A and B are shown apart, each in its own frame.
Chain A
């Protein structure tokens, strides 16, 4: 059974990496489905990666093991999550496509595929104009003078910025999280893959007027698993949300346990709380990672969520005495899962007793833990110093009734698990209260365009501004 799944994985998924990444624009590499794993090896190609590690981004979960129970289907989706995580974090070439001559984590850390995806601020521009084409990036003006060459911009200090709703609608602007090591606010970003970006651009959904003019029911493209007869299938829309924290060894951070980048930390000007605009170059480490992928088997999208292993509990191999990211075991009196006091000033360094004290409310399932150990083992086998072994899947949410009508009474398709939260992304809405506690599908089911049309489970379209910048 296990073997079967593995073989299918290779056939079904691996051949489509090129299409997935080079994407729906330029030359699509048509793969022969019977071909051995993956694109042609480059010169100096590395030995085959351990286990199921692959640069190939899955287009949908693989059900060739014919799952018949909830747990079995969950397993298939969890495998899909890990495959996606590894492929998205695969070493990237300059154009953002995966460098198949390399293996994830072989150098410890690496630049990644998804970090070349379009950041939401590049898509929903203040004047509602057409975004720059795929592959061309744009820096906020405030960052253009700042020394440094990386182009990653982290702007949000909580998941809501002032003038627009962010990806996870914050029912109460729920608040920032502050790391234990540095007392600094975590930062967030949302990126769109090319299928998602193209759908928005081709239908002019990046401004209010375009949304007004678009009268169809909004349906982002779905990923379709290739078959021998239909090898050339779409990846489907993907949205990636990432949470980052400041990494400073002087304050006890251990950089080797995080995927780190030099990022422009951009702070938008705001009236409430009063905040000045700025842009600084800071070393940031990845602590939370959310993948939403619309697929044929999941019109409600598949929601995979990963965390750095030291967020709220010590991960494997954390040296004794080292700090956790968002929990201080020594503080018995610190209020748990409560946002820092207002005013929420992104520039402040909070004193130790005001830093986030976050607990995971719903524990990670045992089956998922076992799967994590397996994939972490493969990642470690590449290189014992790989940063990627320090990430874990929290769970994958998927619709148990995917055929539910999206205009009917139960469009969410009864998600499993019913609740799912990332401690860095849905910190203050963890729990099991229907319609309030974090459930990716339930919450995103409320997402609309700027003119209140159902926006297919993404809040991004609410960010569209008026063409020309007017009201």
Chain B
């Protein structure tokens, strides 16, 4: 894992929020880790104090090694009126590669305003992985793969 504690906490929190492992979100040897891009995007769009609050809250939760970390994250972060919307935007970012503007009509939908974080991010959106498919426009599979169910 990274030597940057913010990144470590961000990836740890993201794993709880997304349901993917930290290694999946931030492979040890990775040429273009999206986790770094996402953390930068978060910091560029959200006040530093709030980002710190989220990461520190998560760090404290993780340090206690609670039996049900999901529940702690839900109660302490997602249900928090200030941190919750940001945390949900982090989930959207991982799944859809989009940073949605936080100052717009809620709830955010597929037609809300936002920015695709990068081309690299688009090719790594988790929604496609959850669908056992690949981002539309970016497949690495070979001719005819579609004729059979995906490898699990």
Question: Which of B31, B32, B120 has the most C-beta atoms of chain A within 10 angstroms of its own C-beta?
Answer: B31
Known: A407-B151, A409-B150, A409-B151. A434 touches B29 (CB 8 A): no
Known: A73-B29, A401-B27, A445-B140. A409 touches B134 (CB 8 A): yes
Q: Is the CB of A418 within 8 A of B134?
A: no
List 27 contacting pairs A-B, 8 Å CB cutoff, sorted by A.
A70-B30, A400-B30, A400-B31, A401-B27, A401-B29, A407-B142, A407-B145, A408-B151, A409-B129, A409-B140, A409-B141, A411-B141, A414-B27, A414-B30, A415-B31, A416-B29, A416-B31, A418-B120, A432-B119, A433-B119, A434-B120, A434-B122, A434-B123, A435-B137, A445-B140, A448-B143, A453-B143
Closest A residue, CB atoms, query B129: A409
B19: interface (CB < 8 Å): no
A408-B151, A434-B120 known; 16 new pairs, CB 8 Å cut-off, are A70-B29, A70-B31, A73-B29, A400-B27, A400-B29, A400-B30, A407-B145, A409-B134, A409-B140, A409-B151, A414-B31, A433-B119, A434-B138, A435-B123, A448-B142, A453-B143
Which 10 interchain pairs have the tightest Cβ spacing?
A: A416-B31, A454-B142, A452-B143, A400-B29, A434-B123, A408-B151, A412-B140, A418-B31, A435-B138, A70-B29
B144: interface (CB < 8 Å): yes
Q: Which residues of A contact B31 (CB under 8 A)?
A: 70, 400, 414-418
Closest B residue, CB atoms, query A404: B140
Q: Considering the chains assembled together, what is the distance between the CA atoms of A409 and B29 in angstroms?
A: 18
Q: Which residues of B contact A215 (CB under 8 A)?
A: none
Q: Which residues of A contact B30 (CB under 8 A)?
A: 70, 400, 414
B59 to chain A, nearest CB (A): 25
Q: Is the CB of B27 within 8 A of A411?
A: no
Q: Which residues of B contact A412 (CB under 8 A)?
A: 140
Number of residues of chain B lying within 8 A (CB) of chain A: 22
Q: Considering the chains assembled together, what is the distance between the CA atoms of A70 and B32 in angstroms?
A: 11
A144: interface (CB < 8 Å): no
Closest A residue, CB atoms, query B123: A434
The interface size bin for chain A is: 20 to 34
Q: Which residues of B contact A409 (CB under 8 A)?
A: 129, 132, 134, 140-141, 150-151
A73 to chain B, nearest CB (A): 7
Residues of B within 8 A of A (CB): 27, 29-32, 119-120, 122-123, 129, 132, 134, 137-138, 140-145, 150-151
Residues of A within 8 A of B (CB): 69-70, 73, 400-401, 405, 407-412, 414-418, 432-435, 442, 445-446, 448, 452-454
Q: Is the CB of A411 within 8 A of B120?
A: no
B32 to chain A, nearest CB (A): 6
Q: Which residues of A contact B29 (CB under 8 A)?
A: 69-70, 73, 400-401, 416
Q: Which residues of A contact B141 (CB under 8 A)?
A: 408-409, 411
Q: Considering the chains assembled together, what is the distance between the CA atoms of A412 and B123 in angstroms?
A: 13
Q: Which residues of A contact B122 (CB under 8 A)?
A: 434
Name A418's contact: one of B32, B137, B140, B145 (CB within 8 Å): B32
Q: Is the CB of A434 within 8 A of B119?
A: yes
Closest B residue, CB atoms, query A74: B31
Q: Considering the chains assembled together, what is the distance between the CA atoms of A426 and B150 in angstroms?
A: 33
Q: Which residues of A contact B140 (CB under 8 A)?
A: 409-412, 442, 445
B143 to chain A, nearest CB (A): 5
Q: Considering the chains assembled together, what is the distance between the CA atoms of A432 and B31 in angstroms?
A: 13
Q: Which residues of B contact A70 (CB under 8 A)?
A: 29-31
Q: Considering the chains assembled together, what is the distance between the CA atoms of A445 and B141 in angstroms?
A: 8
Q: Which residues of B contact A415 (CB under 8 A)?
A: 31
Closest A residue, CB atoms, query B119: A434
Q: Which residues of B contact A410 (CB under 8 A)?
A: 140
B21 to chain A, nearest CB (A): 14
Q: Is the CB of A405 within 8 A of B119?
A: no
Q: Is the CB of A405 within 8 A of B138?
A: no
Q: Considering the chains assembled together, what is the distance between the CA atoms of A400 and B26 in angstroms?
A: 13
